[in-house]
Every structure is written in C-alpha cells, then in structure tokens.
Chains A and B, each alone.
Chain A
Amino acid sequence: MKVLVPVKRVVDYNVKVRVKSDGSGVDIANVKMSMNPFDEIAIEEAVRLKEKGVATEVIAVSCGVLQCQETLRTAMAIGADRAILVETSEELQPLAVAKLLKALVEKEQPQLVILGKQAIDDDCNQTGQMLAALLGWGQATFASKVEVEGGQAVVTREVDGGLETLSLTLPAIVTTDLRLNEPRYVTLPNIMKAKKKPLDRVLPAELGVDVAPRIRTLKVSEPPKRSAGVKVADVAALVDKLRNEAKVI
C-alpha cells in the first residue's frame, strides 16, 4: 500500500513574526523556514506504517517554490522513499493545493494520504478535508491514533469534548494532531541517504490545475496590543487587584 504525505514549508514555529509596516503582509525575509510541525508528524506516521509492514512506499509531496526541495529532503531523511515537488511561485491556497494533490493521487494511487491538520502560517485547517471531498473519500481529521487493518483505517480523533473513534474504508484521508506521534530526530547518515533519493519536479499546468487564488489579502495588521501588566508582591495584593481594580471576582 502506498502512502502519500504532503508537506509544507512554513516559517519555523519558534519565530515570532513581524507585520510589515506597510501592512502588505508578514516579514519572512531571512526568517528560518521548517517543515510544518503537523506534517512532520504525518511523515513520521507514514514511516512507522512502512516499518510495521503496512505501507510499501511513502511518497512525500510539496507544492511551492524551489526551496521546498529542502523540506522534501528532510521528509526523505525521516524515511520517505521518494518525493515530488509541484513547483510554482504563485500563492497557493488550500483549494488549489487540494486539486494538485488530487491529480497526484490519481497518478500514484495511494491507499492513504496523511496530512498535517493545519499549517502554522495560514492556520487554515482545510486542505485534507478538501482533498477528501474532491476524491470522494472518507476522512478522519485531528488523529491521535491510526491503525490500518484489512482495508480499513481505524482512527481515534481529538474532538472538542474528548476523543472519538471512526472506521474508514480505504482509500482514505487522515489529518494529524499533536499527539499522534513524536517525530524521530533526523540522523546524519539518513540526511546523506536522502540526498540520493528520487525527487521529481512537476508544474501545476502539467497536472491540469488552475491554482489562481480565491481569497485576496487586502491588509495585514498587528493584533490589538494589551497594555502592560504589573507584578504583584504577594497573594493578598493579587486578590486585592482582582477584586477592586479589575473587578473580575
């Protein structure tokens, strides 16, 4: 069974981004870029399925600029067998990415596509669900446990009130949540091996997909600032402030 795992190159999660003074966007020039943390979890899960003998091949996919190759090499260092870069410098939104992935799914015929639940830059949380709809497949989002057996994926999901378990017929879509697994550290030997693994490049036009954005960003601004707080000396002072100044108790 092939497993396809899309991965996104995003601003590293430790970076506190700054809004450009002209309001045109967020300043990401010279900022550290990394694989979206949820996508790392997705690659890790796919590799574990291969190690269990459930998956036969793990294919990593990324859509975007040429530097996404670095993200794909990281995916292969974690254990993906090969990678595909859909190369474009156009702004890609989830619907467009879902359409690109659908075209690749139709070519590669994986039984499972595992995606991160959301990208930490746009925080959309849409691509996996959109892909599932376009393919007419079942979906299990926010997965904290995945078991594949006999043509079914049994997935435990983190939902608002706790946990829920669903059974999906394969092929299906799973999106990862934080506690699905802890991704392994990438070792130097694996980084070296990854350099030799196949990485194919393809253009959106070759996949027959129109990637034009549907949502236009008019302005980006800073969130409202909180006024500076104070340190209180002790519990008594805290209670006094909460009761008499803030009036919240």
Chain B
Amino acid sequence: MTSLVIAEHDNASIRPATLNTVTAASQCGGEVHVLVAGSGAQAAAAAAARIAGVAKVIHVEGEHFAHGLAENMAGQVLALASGYSHLLFPATASGKNIAPRVAALLDVGQVSDITKVDSLDTFERPIYAGNAIAMVQSLDAVKVITVRTTGFDAAPSTGGSAAIQTQGAVADSGKSAFVGSEIAKSDRPELTAAKVIVSGGRALGSSEKFHEVLEPLADKLGAALGASRAAVDAGYAPNDWQVGQTGKIVAPQLYVAVGISGAIQHLAGMKDAKVIVAINKDAEAPIFGVADYGLEADLFTAVPELIAAL
C-alpha cells in the first residue's frame, strides 16, 4: 500500500488543502508520497518535503504545468501511477478537474469527496447535498479519491524531511491553452480554511450594501466573507464566495449567516460549522433550523449593532 497525493500549490508554497489530503492518505495505510508538478516549483517541492508524515516528494518541472491544465496533470499522474494503491486529490476545483481523468485513464472508478477513511478500500462520502452519508467500497485495485478537506485535520506543515526525487515531464497535450484569469487577492483568510465566516444572502439587496454592511463585521471578527447562491447570481458577491452544495464546503468555528434563508443547497456547504448564527427577519427561514443562535431581526439594524457590541 502506498499513496500518492497530488499537491495543490502555487509553485512557491503548498496550499493548505494538500495538508488535509495528506492526512487522509496517511489513513489509507502505507507510505505517503506527494507529487509536485509545476513550473519553477522548487520551493513548493521543498515545502512538501517538510510536511509531517510524507516519505517522498516527486518533483516534475514543465512550463505546461504552469496553470494546472487537467490534460497535462492527468497525463503526468498516469505516467507515475504504477505502484500506487491510492491516488488522492483535494476536492478543490483543481482536484475535481483532474482526478476523474486519471481514473478513466486507469479504467477505475473514482470515490469523490470522501469525509472519512474506514479501511483501505472503504470510505464515507456525502450524497444528496449531504442529506445522506454513504459508506462505499471501491472494488478496483487502484483507488482514485478526492478528499473533502473539512473531513480531515491538516497534517503539520513542518517536521517532515522527505527525499525529493525529480522526474521527467510528459509532453504538453496541446488540447487546451490557458488564456487568462481573474483571481481575487484578499487580506482576509481563505474561505475554506477560515475559522470565522460572515456570509450574506440576497436580502442584502445590492453589491454596495453587501460590502458596506458585511465587511466591517468580517473585519471585526477577522473573518472570511461568503455568500449564498442567490447573492452571487444577483451579482452582489463574486462566484468564489459561494458556499453550498456545488460551491465551497466550509466547517469554521463560527458561521454567521446574514439574510440567508437556508436552502437545502446552502446548508450542504456549511452545516458542519461548529457554531452557526443566523440573522434574518423571517421567523420561518429554514436557516433557523440549523442555527445554534438565531436572531430574528432586520439585518440592516442588527449587523451595525453587532459590530458596535463586539
């Protein structure tokens, strides 16, 4: 049994989601190796080698890995897959994009979004927007897995001293090309790793109000900002703030839902938060069904009051 974790990184460092994935891998039995495929990724490879519990880092260099194109990443994993019993990816946009290509190329099934490792071939995963948990057994010799990061603690990022092995890169597939990106930069904590999240719904009414009302609260709490689908669809918040079944899955210490009604699909993304607070003027809003503390009030009055009281 040996696991290969396909690292998520930005060439300079390892992204936190990789650490939770390493923990999941360590529960699959056997050694844990990490693949860092990138462009100028020496620092990321070195950081991967310091992760506690990692026995080996495989570092592959190539300009055609600069943007993590799925065709190239999957091709590279396939070239290295021999000898691994488990191939694990974080269930991030990137991991979800690449992993199924690898599974299909190996002619095996994929277990998506695992929250628990029960044994080397049995895992738990949420289905039906997290309204049911399935315990599933993979019948294939190689398990291709995406890992829900909120299901596993992050492995310590220091303490390890793995060997770094360089490997040659597969050729560029030539099927896709990176044209551009709009990635927001923020001083706030990353949504999926944040301890506190302030999240807004359509009730905020406009993009201006969304930011005007919620940003000071997020500042006071050192929180990340999240949003419901309705708020994103309406243009009040960017798509990468969406919390929900098919958006970000979060499990912070504190989740403050402001003007969010609590649709099934939204709950799927945040119901594992330790403490949930709901502020909504609709007494019947489903969010009150999961909130530990519910404040039935007009958010435009309550939020400024809350900021002042903190």
Contacts and interface: CB of A to CB of B under 8 A. Distances in A.
Interface string B270-307: 01001111000000000010111111110000100110
A123 B181 contact: no
Contact of B97 (A129, A221, A241): A129
Grouping DSSP codes into helix (H, G, I), strand (E, B) and loop, the B interface class, with mixed when no group exceeds half, is mixed
Contacts of B94: 159-160
A139 B176 contact: yes
Interface string A203-245: 0000000000111111111110011011110111011011000
A148 interface: no
A189 interface: no
Contact of A133 (B93, B100, B295): B100
B292 A229 contact: yes
A128 B126 CA distance: 20
A40 B277 CA distance: 34
Interface in B121-142: 122, 126-140
A242 B293 contact: yes
9 contacts: A17-B131, A26-B127, A125-B96, A130-B101, A130-B103, A177-B246, A214-B138, A221-B133, A229-B293
B179 to A, nearest CB: 4
Contact of B112 (A123, A131, A138, A162): A123
B66 interface: no
Given A94-B109, A141-B96, 13 more contacts: A94-B110, A126-B112, A129-B98, A133-B100, A137-B175, A138-B175, A159-B240, A166-B176, A167-B177, A177-B246, A226-B290, A242-B254, A246-B292
A211 B184 CA distance: 43
A249 B101 CA distance: 43
Interface in B88-129: 92-94, 96-105, 107-113, 122, 126-129
Given A221-B133, A229-B290, A123 B127 contact: yes
B171 interface: no
Nearest to A214: B109
A236 to B, nearest CB: 6
B130 A223 contact: yes
Contacts of B96: 125, 141
Query: What is the interface residue range for chain B against chain A?
Result: 35 or more
Nearest to A154: B179
Contacts of A93: 109
Contact of A169 (B175, B178, B238): B175
Contact of A172 (B67, B128, B175, B264): B175
Contacts of A17: 128, 131-132
Given A162-B240, A214-B140, A126 B103 contact: yes
Which interface residue of A17, A137, A139 has the most chain B CB atoms within 10 A? A139
A44 interface: no
Interface stretch (B28-36, B40-48, B68-76): B68-76
Interface of A is mostly: mixed
Interface string A132-159: 1110111111101000000000100111
Contact of A223 (B133, B196, B245, B310): B133
Contacts of B229: 178
A18 to B, nearest CB: 8
A242 B277 CA distance: 9
A191 B134 CA distance: 37
Contact of B296 (A11, A213, A223, A231): A231
A223 B297 CA distance: 30
A95 interface: yes
A231 B294 contact: yes
B233 interface: yes
Contacts of B295: 231-232, 234-235, 238
B187 interface: no
Contacts of A130: 100-101, 103-104, 110
B129 A120 contact: yes
Contact of A219 (B103, B134, B239): B134
A160 B309 contact: no
Contacts of A122: 127
Nearest to A246: B275
B182 interface: yes
Contact of B254 (A13, A129, A248): A248
A159 B238 CA distance: 11
A19 B305 CA distance: 42
A218 B104 contact: no
Interface string B226-262: 0001001100001110000110100001100000000
Contacts of A140: 176
A98 interface: yes
B176 A138 contact: yes
A165 interface: yes
Contacts of A53: none
B309 A236 contact: yes
Contacts of A231: 288, 293-296
Contacts of B105: 133
B294 to A, nearest CB: 5
Given A217-B135, A249-B310, A163 B239 contact: yes
A126 B110 contact: yes
